[in-house]
Structure 1
Amino acid sequence: MSQVIPAEWAPHRAMWVGWPSHPELWDDLEQARDEVEGLVLALAGPGREQVRLMVGTEEALVGTQGRFAGVENVTVVPALFGDIWLRDTGPIFGPGSKTAAAFEFNGWGEKYIYEHDTEVAAQIGAFSGVPLTRHSAILEGGSLDHDGLGTILTTRQCLLNPNRNKGWQENTAGIVLEEALGARKIIWLGDGLLNDHTDGHVDNLARFVAPGVVACPIAFGTNDPNAEAYDACAAAITASTDAEGTPLKVLRIPSPGMVVDADERPVPASHMNFLIANGAVIVPTYGNAMAARLACEALATVFPDHEIIPLPSKAILTGGGSFHCISQQEPA
């Protein structure tokens, strides 16, 4: 069995972030870049992260280098990738970043196949100087959340989806997670957010915020399309214990409410896609100031030693995710 994956709030030696590099993938490329720049600058603040900013095309490289010239704690890393969701295509680092687990990637169930996405883990491993342990299972990092004690949160909708690993059942997946990531206990949730192309990644639904404490949304407004999923998630967590046998507590955090795209179709906007950094928690916001304020106030109760930083992520969301999705930490 591998060593247990550290919790995200454990100290990091570096944070990887993907830079919007391919214009054809974005409704508003410049706004997406401005939003990612805001994230990078927040991460690179004094005493926080060494940011490794992965840029996926030669065309994007020069402008990115100019944008961050002179910014301390930011290293621009030329690379090849199809899209910026490094949480899913990159490796999952173990304790002390001495090793990292690399899984197969099939474009979220063969829905989005882009050149070079299957090469991201190797590039990150090579730049970081971390040897990769390869696993034949298809799995994205955003489909899991870790408490540092061997408890893993995930959803059946994603992890048992036959568009990833045909024939997987809970026990099959459990063996893989135990061997590859040191899982001692898996908490199975049901469905993720409506219209989430990842088939219900847990990092949009529920996140560990402390040992024995899981944050999950509560509906904001009367027309929140995910109200039932949120309540089902909270009920499942309340009925669970972690790997130590401790009953789990639930912290309900207001969702952004109904957020729609240009065609008035609900999109999977989530405050759960926050990123826990050294000294800060960066929270994505989507235009509802009250919902964002309440979400940040709730997170402040469990991160009293972190600065809670809300930042806009509406343009990033049009690409399919938010701050947690475009990042991956290297534990110290």
Structure 2
Amino acid sequence: MPHFSPTDPTPHALGFAMPPEWAPHAATWLGWPADDELWFGHLTGVRDEFAQLVRTIAHFEPVQLLVRGEESELDARTRLSGADVTPFPITLHRQALDDVWLRDSGPIFVTRGKQLSLVNWRFNAWGGKFEYEHDNQVPEYVAGALGLAHWDRPEVLEGGGLEVNGAGVGLTTRSCFLTDTRNPGMTEADYAALLKETLGLKKLLWLGGGLENDHTDGHIDTITRFVNESTIVTSVADDSQDANFAVMQRNLAALREMTDLDGQPFRVVELPLPAARLEGAEGRLPPTYANFYIGNGFVVVPQYHDANDKAALEALRPLFPGREVIGLPSRQIIEGGGSFHCVTQQQPVGEAWQGE
């Protein structure tokens, strides 16, 4: 399939843009967990929770599941046995993987009318924190599997670091995008220009930072999410002594001052963080309910056996009319530092673009 470089016409120039997560999906892409060391000895429990997540998604839309080898494929098939009774298929692909965070290592899809393409960004494991050579090849694999002409970009950009509302507005954090370990020297204005040309964004909004001890340097998808064109849900902490409290309050205040392309304020809804502090092998974990995943007719929300689990579901359900809001366990998955949104990547509905 044709590859387009930064010197070729950009997606924006050809009329492509990134659709919002709630636009119709053709499938969800995930990777199967495989490395017990990366999961600090929790791999069995992580795989159990992944199996529940995959089965749930396959009840609503097709699943494309990457497995890195024979052991992973056998384990996935075993744990997903019986999933063939779901209305949609689960298709396994053999592809080398370092880890499973496809929101960041996978492609970002763009559409033009009924046509589908993708942007292949460079992935460096959140500034070189982990191995990433195999994960950096995932977008090329996906493009080949779908037969997509696509764009290859030299910049580092992770899908979890960007939220879009489908109406020209994007939202991110300075703590993530402006790190020197991603794209040294790039400014807010540089990112705004880049995301306009690659993803069709007309306005890029910035929050200060994310959760304590988040190895992504504060991805937006762990704290603040668009749920429709005009509504934002954002995390807040209950305990004023918590290190996350002041950061989340500053984000809340900033969001209340932000506007859309027409200068209209967004509706901002508060979402509690889990009440209990969770500790992992490398210190505090960043559990959050904002890391939900929106699919065809459903939303899956991580649950942590926490006192705020039910309250989070009750806060989110009114925001998704026509979708079933489902709580699923993520107490083991969070040991790796993320949850459902981090491990998924939606493929919008569209016919494979072959190039101009």
Q: Which band: TM-score by shorter chain?
A: over 0.9
Asked if 1:49 is matched to 2:61, the reply is yes
Asked if 1:314 is matched to 2:327, the reply is no
Shift of 1:166: 0.6
The letter of the residue matching 2:125 is G
What does the per-residue CA deviation read over 1:167-223, in whole Å, with 9 as the maximum and x for residues that have no partner?
111111111111111111101010111000000100001000111110001213455
C-alpha distance in structure 1 between counterparts of 2:336 and 2:134, whole Å: 17
Partner secondary structure for residue 301 of structure 1: helix
Asked if 1:249 is matched to 2:267, the reply is yes
The letter of the residue matching 1:232 is R
| Percent pairwise identity | 40
Q: Which moved more, 1:89-98 or 1:299-308?
A: 89-98
The letter of the residue matching 1:74 is I
RMSD in angstroms over aligned alpha carbons? 1.6
Matching residue of 1:93: 109
Partner secondary structure for residue 270 of structure 1: coil
Matching residue of 2:73: 61
Shift of 1:224: 3.7
Asked if 1:5 is matched to 2:18, the reply is yes
Partner secondary structure for residue 308 of structure 2: helix
| Aligned partner (choices 164, 187, 204) of residue 146 of structure 1 | 164
C-alpha distance in structure 2 between counterparts of 1:301 and 1:229, whole Å: 26
Shift of 1:49: 1.1
Matching residue of 1:323: 340
Matching residue of 1:39: 53
C-alpha distance in structure 1 between counterparts of 2:222 and 2:147, whole Å: 30
Paired residues, what number? 329
| Aligned partner (choices 289, 294, 309) of residue 292 of structure 1 | 309
Residues 311 and 220 of structure 1, relative CA distance in 2, 3 Å threshold: farther
| Aligned partner (choices 125, 139, 143) of residue 125 of structure 1 | 143
What does the per-residue CA deviation read over 1:79-130, in whole Å, with 9 as the maximum and x for residues that have no partner?
1110000010110011256110111111111111234111111112212222
Asked if structure 2 preserves the Cα contact closer than 8 Å seen for 1:84 and 1:326, the reply is: yes
Residues 212 and 80 of structure 1, relative CA distance in 2, 3 Å threshold: same
Runs of 4+ deviating beyond 4 Å: none
Matching residue of 2:155: 137
Shift of 1:263: 6.0
| Aligned partner (choices 9, 21, 40) of residue 34 of structure 2 | 21
C-alpha distance in structure 1 between counterparts of 2:69 and 2:261, whole Å: 43
What is the TM-score of this pair, normalised by structure 1?
0.95
The letter of the residue matching 2:93 is V
Asked if structure 2 preserves the Cα contact closer than 8 Å seen for 1:97 and 1:331, the reply is: no
Asked if structure 2 preserves the Cα contact closer than 8 Å seen for 1:225 and 1:266, the reply is: no
Asked if structure 2 preserves the Cα contact closer than 8 Å seen for 1:195 and 1:267, the reply is: yes
Asked if structure 2 preserves the Cα contact closer than 8 Å seen for 1:223 and 1:257, the reply is: no
Asked if structure 1 preserves the Cα contact closer than 8 Å seen for 2:293 and 2:341, the reply is: yes
What does the per-residue CA deviation read over 1:10-69, in whole Å, with 9 as the maximum and x for residues that have no partner?
110100112101222112101000111111111111xx1101111122221122123334
Residues 262 and 107 of structure 1, relative CA distance in 2, 3 Å threshold: closer
Asked if 1:111 is matched to 2:129, the reply is yes
Asked if 1:163 is matched to 2:203, the reply is no
Residues 311 and 224 of structure 1, relative CA distance in 2, 3 Å threshold: farther
Matching residue of 1:193: 211
Specify every segment of 5 or more residues in structure 1 that has no aligned partner in the other structure, as ranges: none
C-alpha distance in structure 2 between counterparts of 1:310 and 1:304, whole Å: 16
Partner secondary structure for residue 259 of structure 2: coil
C-alpha distance in structure 1 between counterparts of 2:104 and 2:33, whole Å: 15
| Aligned partner (choices 30, 34, 37) of residue 44 of structure 2 | 30
Residues 264 and 65 of structure 1, relative CA distance in 2, 3 Å threshold: closer
Shift of 1:71: 2.2
Q: Which moved more, 1:165-174 or 1:225-234?
A: 225-234
Asked if structure 2 preserves the Cα contact closer than 8 Å seen for 1:225 and 1:258, the reply is: no
What is the TM-score of this pair, normalised by structure 2?
0.88
Partner secondary structure for residue 297 of structure 1: helix
The letter of the residue matching 1:314 is R
Matching residue of 2:353: none
Asked if structure 2 preserves the Cα contact closer than 8 Å seen for 1:153 and 1:186, the reply is: yes
Shift of 1:319: 1.2
